[in-house]
Amino acid sequence: MRKILIANWKMNLSVSEGLTYLKALKKNANEVVIAAPFTFLNDLKKIARQKNIKLAAQNVSQFAEGAYTGEASAKMLKEAGCSYCLLGHSERRIYFQESDAQINQQIKNLLKYKITPIICVGETKQQRQKGLTKQVIKAQLKAALAGIKNVPLIIAYEPVWAISTFQTGKNIQSASLKDIIAAHNYIRSFVSGKTRVIYGGTVNPQNSKAILKLKQVDGALVGGASLKVSSFNAIIQNT
């Protein structure tokens, strides 16, 4: 099955590094998406189109337009060539206090411009230790998707404890295949057939094959291992 592989560059690289990266990106039958900083998007648009690579923004305003200093609207993202937009990434939730109500509004704004939202959900380490994983996922999905039905969406299961930058020490690990299957099955019980469910959290060239082989997993959101094109290429080629 065709999978979607999304590189989340976060606040890294420069426009010229991004262009060099896209030129070196190898493609196969999978769909490849680059989630780049806002200021890169227009510059990446042409080469992305030539190579059939889709662009994603890493965030969007909850407001449609107006006096909202520092924000970028869904309309602006469309103009900049975005097909997708990340929402509710744990870094946005933790560092910028983004709420599920905000995410709900962001989804509605994106859908007006036919940009597919990639909604990140997942529990923290403490929530997992208290046995709250399902409860957290359910609450995040219910609030984010209130009033939204039968539209194309992507849900990224990103357990916060499995994201590389939230882990300390040398032994950085993804969630187990068993945990990934359980969470994906659970998420699927809440969403329509049009929704793709993908995994994110320390996906790298060593573990990507096993994770992406799972029938429950429609793709991967890759952070740290997407910063070098050789490593993201290895994930693409592995799949």
Does residue 121 contact residue 137 with C-beta atoms inside 8 Å? yes
For ligand PEP, which stretch binds (CB under 6 A), given 18-26, 99-107, 143-151, 215-223?
Answer: 215-223
Smallest separation (angstroms) from ligand PEP to the CB of 11:
11
Active site residue 98: no
Q: Which residue has 């107006």 as its token pair? A: 66
Smallest separation (angstroms) from ligand PEP to the CB of 166:
8
Q: Which residue has 């930058």 as its token pair? A: 165
Contact between 81 and ligand PEP (CB under 6 A)?
no
The token pair at 209 is 């094959």
What count of Cα atoms within 13 Å lies in the side-chain half-sphere of residue 65? 3
Burial class (CB in 10 A: 0-12, 13-18, 19+), 17: middle
Does residue 206 contact residue 225 with C-beta atoms inside 8 Å? no
Smallest separation (angstroms) from ligand PEP to the CB of 174:
8
Active site residue 17: no
Of 87-106, which residues contact ligand PEP (CB under 6 A)?
A: 89
| Residue 47 vs 177, nearer CB to ligand PEP | 177
Burial class (CB in 10 A: 0-12, 13-18, 19+), 1: exposed
The site map against ligand PEP for 129-168 (x = CB under 6 A) is: -----------------------------x----xxx---
Contact between 201 and ligand PEP (CB under 6 A)?
yes
For ligand PEP, which stretch binds (CB under 6 A), given 111-119, 130-138, 139-147, 221-229?
Answer: 221-229
Which residue is closest to ligand PEP by CB? 223
CA distances from 172 to 72, 168, 198, 224 (A): 34, 7, 20, 11
Smallest separation (angstroms) from ligand PEP to the CB of 31:
17
Does residue 43 contact residue 19 with C-beta atoms inside 8 Å? yes
The backbone torsions φ and ψ at residue 182, rounded to the nearest 5 degrees and listed phi first, read -60, -45
Active centre residues (catalytic): 89, 158
Contacts to ligand PEP by CB under 6 A:
8, 89, 158, 163-165, 200-203, 221-225
